Every structure is written in structure tokens, then in C-alpha cells.
A and B are shown apart, each in its own frame.
Chain A
Amino acid sequence: MAFIELRDLRKSFGKTEVVKDLSLEVRKGEFLSFLGGSGCGKTTTLRMIAGFETPSSGSIFIDGEDMENVSPRKRRLGMVFQNYALFPNLDVAGNIAFGLHVAGAKGKSAKKRVAEMLELIGMEGYAQRYPRELSGGQQQRVALARAIAVEPEALLLDEPLSALDAKIRQRLRDDIRSIQKKLGMTMIYVTHDQEEALSISDRVAVMRDGRIEQLGSPSEIYDNPATAFVATFIGSLSSLCCEVADAAAGLLLVDGRILRAVAPLAASSGETLSLSLRPESITLSPSSADDNVLPGEVEAVKFLGSIVRLVVHSCGQAVFVDSFNDPRRALPEPGEEVKLCFPPEACHLRPSHPAVRVPAEEISTSVEA
């Protein structure tokens, strides 16, 4: 049975409909992420669950109880905000104890709980520091402890890591997940960072224009994107235009070459489709006899840390090829002829659409080798 249920939820601000007919069930103890770009309605949905926004229509149920006209303070939820929202006039212990004092806990019990929370977030020596004396990561840890201290039924996290730098973000992300597993707490997490969502969630709801495009486990979302949007939003994809040569045998025609996809194809022979390939599923040498092979010319070599990305011009399109950064292996030079090899299982087929946009930040943050 669903612990949190959103039923036909809609929200409009003036004439703009931000959330459209959204239905979702969150199981008890589950870590679910809303993933999407700016303005897709993910934060508004979270704020409706918290009770800070009133739905234009639809219902929210928490543990079977309709939340209509239930104020945020009575929803038994915790929330972690993007900008920490720590009370500046209270020290760390005061912040963590705030909810406990409001709930009537006093003296030793509150003190004990605060100590437990400080231990949980690994900040035992910081009880008497004020928020202004803490780094962003420490402030967010305190905000997390403050939210958990009152033992909420579920925790809502609104882009809690987006104001932090990459290293701290990664550590805190792992900490949040381990705390969630340790306490078995239901968490709903809002993020625009696909890596964040995929790495910590039990399920991910990819949102676009106020609707859920796809709901599934991280691997389902990544390996079997349900729509072109999900396919392009999650990870990187290279798309090639192809024609179905033999649907029953799974044969495709790309730039005059026959390629093999998983048979049978859900398309009719002669139909034009879009063939999408993940950069990590392509290699430069065949790993089995079944591998498809396409010729190409290296346009650029981009160094992304642990990964090296080749941009290969093949069949009139730019195709990305990712491989681990192995210093012992020589990388091809720009202008070099290479072979793109990929198994039939790597071929994702969708109705034909314009060439897939490459997320700009992937290129701009990389360093040309």
C-alpha cells in the first residue's frame, strides 16, 4: 500500500499550469527522486506534499489520510531546504532541538536526542556553534539532523545539495542515503542532477512540463528510457537516422550498412527510425562476432577525469564514445580513422526525431586533450 499518494494533482499560478494531472504512489521506506530541469514542477509538487502550496485540484494522501486542509505543521513531515534555512539566532544544538521543544520535549530527553543527531551527522563537537560559523556542507548536515530529530513520517528534500561544491555534494549524498537506509525513512528528493538522482534513489520520477515522463528504478530509466525526452535528459546519447531493413530479423540500414538490433523490431520494414547509442556501449574494437561496426573519424578527444570521451564523426553525425581513462593506453588522435563497435542490445530505437541535443555543460566543462 502506498504511504504517500498523489492523485490527479494539478497546480496553476495564474494562467500557468505548473503541475498537470500528476499521480504517484510512494512506498513506505522508499527513496524517490523527482528529477527534471528548471520549471518542470518538481519543487511545486514537493511543496504541495509539504502543505506550503495548495493544489488547484487533486488529492494528497499520507498514510491513508487526506491532507486537504491539513496545515504543514500537522503533516508529520520533515523538510530540508536548498538554502539550509537554519535559524540564525540559534546555535547548532538549538536548531536541532527546535522541533523537539515545539513538540514538548524538554530537559534530558531533548538533550539526548540532540546528542544522537549530532553523532548521526558526525558533528559532535559543533553543538554550540552558530550557523554563520559553519560551512555550507555542515549547515546542510545540521538542517538534516534538525529535520530527522522529530522523527517525521517522511522527509522531503528540496535540492539540498545544489548550493554545495562537487566534492561535498558527493559525500553528503552518500550520507543522506546511508541515513535513509539506517532509519528506514521514506524520502522524497528533488534534484535537477541526474547523477545524484540515479545514484541514491530506489525510484526516479523524471518530470517535464508538470508531468511525470517516466517512473522507474535508476537502471530502468537509464537503460530503457520510455520517451525521447528521458533518453536525452538522462546521460548522453548519440542518434543516427536508420531505416528498418527487416523488422522480424532486427536488421537496420544505416548509411548503406546493415546493423543488427534485438529482433523482432516493433516497427514495419522500410520505416525510418532514430537509432540511439549510449557512449559507454560503444568500443573501438569488436568484443564479439555479433557486434555492429561503423566507420568514423575522430573529431575531438575530451578529458573528463576518470572518463575520456571521443567525439567521432560517423554517418554524418557526431557520435560519443566513452572509455575509462587508462594512462597505459594510447588515445586516438583527432583525424584518425576508427571503427565504432556496439552489440545489438545497445541499439535503442525510437520514432525518428531531429538529432539529439548534447547537454552543453558536458562539453564546456571538459578539457580538450
Chain B
Amino acid sequence: MRRSESARKALSWFWLALGMLYFFLPLVATFLFSLKGRKGVLSFAAYANVLADPQFLKTFLFSLEMAVFTILASLVLIVPTAIWIHLKLPKAKGLMEALSLMPFVIPPIVLAFGLIKTYSKPPLVLVSSPVLLVAGYVIISFPYMYRTIDAGLRAIDLPLLTEAAQILGARWTTVLFRVALPGLRASILSAVFLCFATVIGELTLAVILAWPAFGPYMALVGRDLAYEPAALSIMSFALTWGSIGLMQFISSRGVARRGRGHRP
């Protein structure tokens, strides 16, 4: 019995290692390739070239700004909606799940032209506003955001916790801010990461709506240069994960502070 358990453990480690190799090997290969900017030696020349290009920081900051607005808009729209559906309209769960698949079904190019056609004439003319880009990003990241929040809500049994809070005298706002949102912390954080990663690398909407985002910049560099795109990929990977780590750090500090506050 002990042997079968250790064999199972070994098998688990094998599959984990295989998964990690699948994920990290291309990354390592890209990294090694990015170091070959100078003939015969390994150097960070490609990285220096990328950093020397003012477009790099400009486009990254633009996408970062768009990502922040997208995350805020998505959270404001989707979190209360998902909570409301779980508490008051459970029958609408199926409809929302179907809706959340739509961005996968409708290609971004169709979405982009649909947005241009709808918002290029009165009453709402938004084609020249970044609001339209954020709106498009909200739609694209909707499946990740909704499904992650939905999974979190299913895990904490919100209707039951809401009843427990209500019978203790809590108002809806108390239920939302002291029960639902803290209970959803992990899933909200995951949803934010997914949303962030989606927006940072998004290409189609930014190109068609003509915004100087990071996605189009990476595509441009990849078309014209050899080693710099590899360096850029590694840098964007590091920047995205760095930003995500920072968000997690800030959020966990906030939760720890609130947690201490509850202890009488």
C-alpha cells in the first residue's frame, strides 16, 4: 500500500515536471536566443536596444493605464452582477455562462468593427476616445473575469453566508463589504491577473482602433528585428508577472491589516 502511494506521488511529480518543462522550455529558449544579439558572445545587447527605444516605455505605460481602467470597469460591472445573480437570480446563471462564452465565439476583429460602426455616429461618438478601447477590453476579458468570480462564489456558498450575516443584523452593504468581497478575495485577485495579462498583450482591438498599445508595439518589433522581439517577450513576461506580484503583495497587506482589525 505504501509502495503504491509513493508510486502515485512519483507519478504526480513526473507530470508536474513535464508541465513545468512544457511551460519553461520555450521561455528558456527565448531567453537564450535573446542573449545572442552580438555575434559569438552572450550579451544583453538586445535588451539595451529595447530599453533605448522610447516607444517601449510609452506603449507599455499606455497599456498599463488601459489595463487599470479595464480592471476597474470590469470589477464594478461584473462583481456586483455575479453576486446579485447568485443571491437573487440563480436561474440566470446559465444565461450568464452562455454570455460569457460570446467573446470566444466572436472574433476580436468583428468586435472592433462592431464597436467602430456603433460608436462613430451620434448619439455616442467614441471612436477617438480610449473609452471605446477600454469598453472593448472589458468585453474581451469578460469570460475570465466572470467565470473566475463565479467559481469563487460557488466555493464560498454566498447565499448561506448572506443569511448568516443578515440574521446577525447586517445590512446589504455590510454583507457586500465584510462577507462577500473578503470571501472572494482570491478569485477577484485571479480575475484581475487574467484581465491584466489579457489587456497587456492584446493586439487586434488596439491596432484597429489605432491606439499606441504594447501589443502592436511588440508585433512591430517582431516584424522588423531578430533578437529584440525575444528580449521584449522576456521583458514583457517579467513586467507582467512583476506587476501581478506587486498587486498580490499590496492586496495581501490590505487583507492582513483588515484581519487584525477584526480581532477584538
Chain A residues near B (Cβ < 8 Å) = 50-52, 71-75, 77-79, 81, 83, 85-91, 93-94, 97-99, 101-103, 107, 110-111, 114, 127-128, 146-147, 150
Which of chain A's residues has its CB closest to B164's CB? A85
Tell me, rounded to whole Å, the shortest Cβ–Cβ distance linking B170 to chain A.
5
Tell me, rounded to whole Å, the shortest Cβ–Cβ distance linking A67 to chain B.
13
- B166 contacts A71, C-beta separation under 8 Å: yes
Tell me, rounded to whole Å, the shortest Cβ–Cβ distance linking A187 to chain B.
14
- B161 contacts A85, C-beta separation under 8 Å: yes
- B263 contacts A73, C-beta separation under 8 Å: no
Is the C-beta of B212 less than 8 angstroms from some C-beta in chain A? no
Chain A to chain B contacts (Cβ below 8 Å), 9 pairs:
A52-B166, A73-B167, A73-B171, A78-B167, A85-B161, A87-B179, A97-B264, A107-B264, A150-B169
Tell me, rounded to whole Å, the shortest Cβ–Cβ distance linking A150 to chain B.
6
- B183 contacts A102, C-beta separation under 8 Å: no
CA distance A83 to B185 in the complex (A): 21
Q: Which residues of A contact B125 (CB under 8 A)?
A: none
Which of chain B's residues has its CB closest to A90's CB? B262
Is the C-beta of B254 less than 8 angstroms from some C-beta in chain A? no
B168 in complex: contacting residue of A52, A91, A94, A102, CB < 8 Å: A102
- A127 contacts B263, C-beta separation under 8 Å: yes
Which of chain B's residues has its CB closest to A78's CB? B167
CA distance A73 to B183 in the complex (A): 21
CA distance A94 to B183 in the complex (A): 14
- A89 contacts B183, C-beta separation under 8 Å: yes
- A91 contacts B259, C-beta separation under 8 Å: yes
Decide: A73 near B170, CB < 8 A? Known: A79-B164, A98-B165.
yes
- A87 contacts B264, C-beta separation under 8 Å: no
- A93 contacts B157, C-beta separation under 8 Å: no
- A73 contacts B166, C-beta separation under 8 Å: yes
Report B162-192 CB contacts with A as 1/0, cut-off 8 Å.
Answer: 0111111111001000110011010000000
Interface residues of B in 228-264 (CB under 8 A from A): 255, 259, 262-264
- A89 contacts B164, C-beta separation under 8 Å: no
Q: A73-B167, A85-B157 are in contact. List 8 more A-B contacts (CB 8 A).
A: A79-B164, A85-B164, A88-B156, A94-B259, A98-B170, A99-B169, A102-B168, A147-B168
- A50 contacts B183, C-beta separation under 8 Å: no
CA distance A110 to B161 in the complex (A): 21
Tell me, rounded to whole Å, the shortest Cβ–Cβ distance linking A124 to chain B.
14
- A98 contacts B156, C-beta separation under 8 Å: no
A87 in complex: contacting residue of B167, B169, B171, B183, CB < 8 Å: B183
CA distance A78 to B164 in the complex (A): 9
Which of chain B's residues has its CB closest to A115's CB? B264
Q: Which residues of A contact B183 (CB under 8 A)?
A: 87-89
Q: Which residues of B contact A52 (CB under 8 A)?
A: 163, 166
Decide: A91 near B263, CB < 8 A? Known: A73-B170, A150-B169.
yes
- B164 contacts A81, C-beta separation under 8 Å: yes
Which of chain B's residues has its CB closest to A150's CB? B168
Which of chain B's residues has its CB closest to A94's CB? B262
Is the C-beta of B160 less than 8 angstroms from some C-beta in chain A? yes
Tell me, rounded to whole Å, the shortest Cβ–Cβ distance linking A311 to chain B.
39
Decide: A93 near B163, CB < 8 A? Known: A83-B157, A103-B169.
no
CA distance A85 to B168 in the complex (A): 12
Scoring B163, B179, B264 by chain A CB atoms within 10 A of each residue's CB, the highest score goes to B264
Tell me, rounded to whole Å, the shortest Cβ–Cβ distance linking B90 to chain A.
14
- B170 contacts A79, C-beta separation under 8 Å: no
CA distance A81 to B160 in the complex (A): 8
Q: Which residues of B contact A146 (CB under 8 A)?
A: 168
Q: Which residues of A contact B171 (CB under 8 A)?
A: 73
Q: Which residues of B contact A83 (CB under 8 A)?
A: 157, 160
Query: Which 4 pairs of residues, A with B, have the shortest CB-CB distance?
Result: A99-B168, A94-B262, A85-B164, A89-B182
- A93 contacts B262, C-beta separation under 8 Å: yes
- B167 contacts A72, C-beta separation under 8 Å: yes
Tell me, rounded to whole Å, the shortest Cβ–Cβ distance linking A113 to chain B.
8
Decide: A97 near B167, CB < 8 A? Known: A85-B161, A89-B183.
no
Q: Which residues of A contact B169 (CB under 8 A)?
A: 73-74, 99, 102-103, 150
CA distance A71 to B163 in the complex (A): 11
Q: Which residues of A contact B185 (CB under 8 A)?
A: 89
Which of chain B's residues has its CB closest to A89's CB? B182
Q: Which residues of B contact A88 (CB under 8 A)?
A: 156, 183
CA distance A85 to B164 in the complex (A): 6
CA distance A301 to B185 in the complex (A): 57
Q: Which residues of A contact B165 (CB under 8 A)?
A: 87, 98, 102
Tell me, rounded to whole Å, the shortest Cβ–Cβ distance linking B159 to chain A.
9
B264 in complex: contacting residue of A77, A78, A81, A93, CB < 8 Å: A93
Which of chain A's residues has its CB closest to B181's CB? A89
- B264 contacts A111, C-beta separation under 8 Å: yes
Tell me, rounded to whole Å, the shortest Cβ–Cβ distance linking B164 to chain A.
4
- A81 contacts B174, C-beta separation under 8 Å: no
CA distance A111 to B262 in the complex (A): 10
Decide: A89 near B259, CB < 8 A? Known: A81-B160, A81-B164, A146-B168.
yes
Which of chain A's residues has its CB closest to B156's CB? A88
- B163 contacts A91, C-beta separation under 8 Å: no
Tell me, rounded to whole Å, the shortest Cβ–Cβ distance linking A127 to chain B.
7
Which of chain B's residues has its CB closest to A71's CB? B166
Scoring B161, B167, B178, B263 by chain A CB atoms within 10 A of each residue's CB, the highest score goes to B167
Interface residues of B in 136-175 (CB under 8 A from A): 156-157, 160-161, 163-171, 174
Q: Which residues of A contact B255 (CB under 8 A)?
A: 89
